[in-house]
Amino acid sequence: MRKKKKLSSAELKYNVGDEVAFTLDKQKFVGRIDKRYINSFLISFHSDDPSIVDKYHNKTVVNNKKLKLIKAAPKKKAKKSAPKASK
């Protein structure tokens, strides 16, 4: 079983759902983080270039050092649990 690694400050800067900018095949793209890996992220993006779509299918894995945050995803509020009613 793999040990859980502490996340670096660079990794903590990004969360699932964040909008990020990155460079792919010398072109700049904007996409959303779908999944976190150990030191990279799965990014969904849109391209009108048929060769990019054919090669990447609008998803790619990008190292966290190559990302730039555009817009953070909204933070989920913790639900307050209602007190249990006694009978």
Is residue 44 in some structural domain? yes
Is residue 47 in some structural domain? yes
Residue 45 sits in a domain whose CATH number is 2.30.30.430
Percentage above 70 pLDDT, the chain? 75
Q: In the chain, how many domains are there? A: 1
> Whole-number mean pLDDT of the chain?
85
pTM of the entire predicted model: 0.73
Range of the domain at 27: 10-71
Taking only the tens place, the pLDDT of each residue in 46-77 is: 999 999 999 999 999 999 999 999 998 887 76
Looking at the DSSP bridge assignments, the partners of residue 59 are: 44
Q: Which residues contact 6 (CB under 8 A, 6 or more apart)?
A: none
What pLDDT does 37 receive? 93
Alpha carbon 25 to its chain's center? 20
Is residue 49 in some structural domain? yes
Is residue 76 in some structural domain? no
* ∠ Cα 35 37 41 (to 5°): 55
Is residue 2 in some structural domain? no
What pLDDT does 12 receive? 77
